[in-house]
Chains A and B, each alone.
Chain A
């Protein structure tokens, strides 16, 4: 149980285009979903926290107009990278949580984005 999927697993796009990444909790309802970014040989950095039906909370330094997050249901959150540029190339990982902050987060397999 507690499986989280991400789609696509990898994407290559041209600079200036927008890319949408989906995160789904397959067998549980996620009240909260998190989006992380990981640059090569670095650790995961939290980008934003989203609760179903409300606006996402972004970490300092993350542009909310560039990284659009929608958490429309208890099993789906999407991250849209708008007007992507090469510096946005990274590994994006989502996680889902069923309840309080001390509960376990279940991580997706990640999406590798390459912007040319």
Chain B
């Protein structure tokens, strides 16, 4: 059974700093990995999707990496802004379903 863990569970950083969120998964037989953002009481916004054959994806200030063999992914956020405050979820697509991580609640301090 796939298990996805995110560390830390919560993170507070001053505005302008760069930061890294971590995601680990137990079964490396995945099709892809996605990073989502969820604002309080809202649905999910897809940020980046990395196919299993890829090593990283970039979108603006966001960069996600994937090391399938070690079961790890990181989401790097550059020059953080207060608007980046949200919960970030990683999810892996395995055999027939998407398994979500536990989430990291990010607070950017103005």
**Interface residues in chain A, defined as those with a beta carbon under 8 Å from any beta carbon in chain B:** 6, 34, 42-46, 49, 91, 93, 95, 101-102, 104-110, 112
Are B96 and A49 neighbours in the complex by a CB distance under 8 Å? yes
Number of A-B residue pairs at CB separation under 8 A: 48
Bound complex: CA of A43 vs CA of B32, how far in Å?
A: 19
Which residues of chain B come closer than 8 Å to A42, judged between CB atoms? Answer: 102
Are A104 and B89 neighbours in the complex by a CB distance under 8 Å? no
Could you say which of B44, B51, B97, B99 contacts A107, with CB atoms under 8 Å apart? B44
Could you say which of A44, A102, A106, A109 contacts B89, with CB atoms under 8 Å apart? A44
**Interface residues in chain B, defined as those with a beta carbon under 8 Å from any beta carbon in chain A:** 31-32, 34, 36, 41-44, 46, 49, 51, 89, 91, 93, 95-103
Could you say which of A49, A91, A93 contacts B97, with CB atoms under 8 Å apart? A49
Chain A, Cβ-Cβ closest to B6:
A43
